[in-house]
Structure formats: C-alpha cells, structure tokens
Amino acid sequence: MLDLSVQLNRLRLPNPILVASGTFGYAREMQAFADFSKLGGIIPKTVTPLPRPGNPPPRTVETASGLLNSIGLDNDGLDAFVSKHLEALLGLGAPLIVNIAGKNTAEFAAMATRLSEFPAIAALELNISCPNVSGGVDYGTNPKMTAEVVSAVRAACPFPIIAKLTPNVTSVVDIAQAATDGGADAVSLINTFQGLAVDWRKRQPILGNGIGGLSGPAIKPLALRIVWQVAQKVNIPIIGIGGIQSFDDMMEFLVCGATAVQIGTANFYNPSMSFQLVDQLSTVLDELGCASVSDVVGTLQPSKVTKMMATGH
C-alpha cells in the first residue's frame, strides 16, 4: 500500500501538501468547491494577540514572475479567531496548523497557552519572519531570540512547533539550528524576500508601506537552495515554500530535502492546485515504485558545484 503520510517529529500529516498561511484566508470561502480532507494540512492567516488593521494600501503589486505584498498581518485578533473561525476550521477534515505572531516572547507564549484549550489543533507555526511588520522580522534574524521564542512556546503548550523562517539573513542554517535547539519540531522554509516596487514617474514606492515581501515563481531557485543547505546541515524536518506552481516544483523541494511543502501564491490564481497535487503525488510515486513519500525526500545527488554551495566555499 502506498503511504502518503509524512512525519515531522511529533507532527504526523496524512500527506505532504499544505496551504500556506495568508494565501487561503480561513478556507471557509472554498468549502463548497473543495474536499479539504484531501490536504495534508491547512494553515490559516496569521493570528496576533490583538486585532491589527494591517498596512496602508496598496498592499499587493505583481512583479516579474512574482507577487510583492505588504498586508501587515491584518486580522481580527486571537479572541475573534477562537470565537468565529476555529470551530469551522477544525471541522474541515484536514489537520489544522495555527500560525501565530507576537511582539515579544511573552505574547507568543500567552497565545500558545490560550490555544492549548483546543487539543484538536494539530500544531502551531510561529511567524517570526514577516518582512513587512515593524519588529516582526527580528526574531527570525537572531539565533538567540529564535531559540528563546521557540523554547517558550514549547514550554507553554503540548502542540508540535514549526518555526517559519526568513530568508533575509546571512545564514538561514544558523537560524534553523537555533530553532532546533529551542525545541522546534520542524521549520518552514522560506517566508518572503524583502523587495521594493517603484513608480518612477511619481518617484514613489507602489506599496503603501514601501517595502513588501516577494513570493511566487521568481523566488523558487532561492528557496530550493536554502532548503537544500539546511537539509545538509541541520537535523530537523523541513516544510518547503516558495514558488510552487506545479507538480514538478513540489517534487524539486522534496528531493532537495523538504518533508512537506506549502502552496502559497499559486492559491490566488488556482485555488484547487493543492488538491490536484495530492492526486498527482499518488500516481507518480506508484510509477516510481516508491512505497512512501520518504523514499524521495532528500535524494538529490549533489554535484561538485552543490557541494561547494553547501559548505559556503
């Protein structure tokens, strides 16, 4: 029997395909058109302790092969998430991973404690890497702070912990190691790259907040490189993110060392993509003669060039 399930330390998922935070809303809008029980997991938009209005518009702009966004974690806060959305999300039939963000370690821990009241939650994903929120990226750029917040959340709740990391650092490997040392069960790689879109005639940035986060196909080669480097150096399961818009894209992340993947920007133009990928995965693994997803994870054969890249020389 073909086994599509994947294990990320304490977190077991029915298959490796998830929808990324911030790209699928609260999933309710798609309930009439999709069988969510087919997914490996659902990650709703980031939840913060208190409501956030988000950044001023414009909040998104298309770029060459990508999307630059500056949403600013617009959400109604933890109380509203619990009262208005949590029950419906838990009833969709797929593991629910709640993505949370706080201004400091105490806020992260307090949110984890509150969510512990709902044991049906599968895991928490810590957004310590948002590129367009003041102060939000600091945790993910500092190994000590990364380990501190992961450790505090792990002590505050029984859930598996996923740290979502930023690529906007000199070495993601060092941050991933810090998350591992803090007790993370997995890391999500990667969040968006900081970028700028400009209207040169007006001499102004296009986004209302100026700087935004770049996602989409343009970042896939960079995301693959980071996933592969972390997989070579850090003993922790990886959830790969960055420009996945086809089955081949997904498989590239798996062979580079990701145990699971998140579909993000592609959800905006093809909301059914994640469900299609699940069906394709079964077919291709069977054709390859693989008994499980783990048979292909981390099977990239490094060349001399990639060996040099992994060592930084």
| Contact between 158 and 112 (Cβ < 8 Å) | no
Q: By C-alpha distance, which of 48, 24, 28, 152 is closest to 90?
A: 28
Q: By C-alpha distance, which of 17, 195, 25 is closest to 99?
A: 25
| Contact between 69 and 265 (Cβ < 8 Å) | no
| Contact between 27 and 36 (Cβ < 8 Å) | yes
Q: By C-alpha distance, which of 279, 265, 252 is closest to 214?
A: 265
Token pair 């077991």: residue: 12
Q: At what angle do helices 304-311 and 220-233 cross, to 10 degrees?
A: 70
Q: How far apart are CA 183 and CA 162, in angstroms?
A: 9
Half-sphere exposure of 90 (CA within 13 A, CB side): 14
- Which residues are catalytically annotated? 130
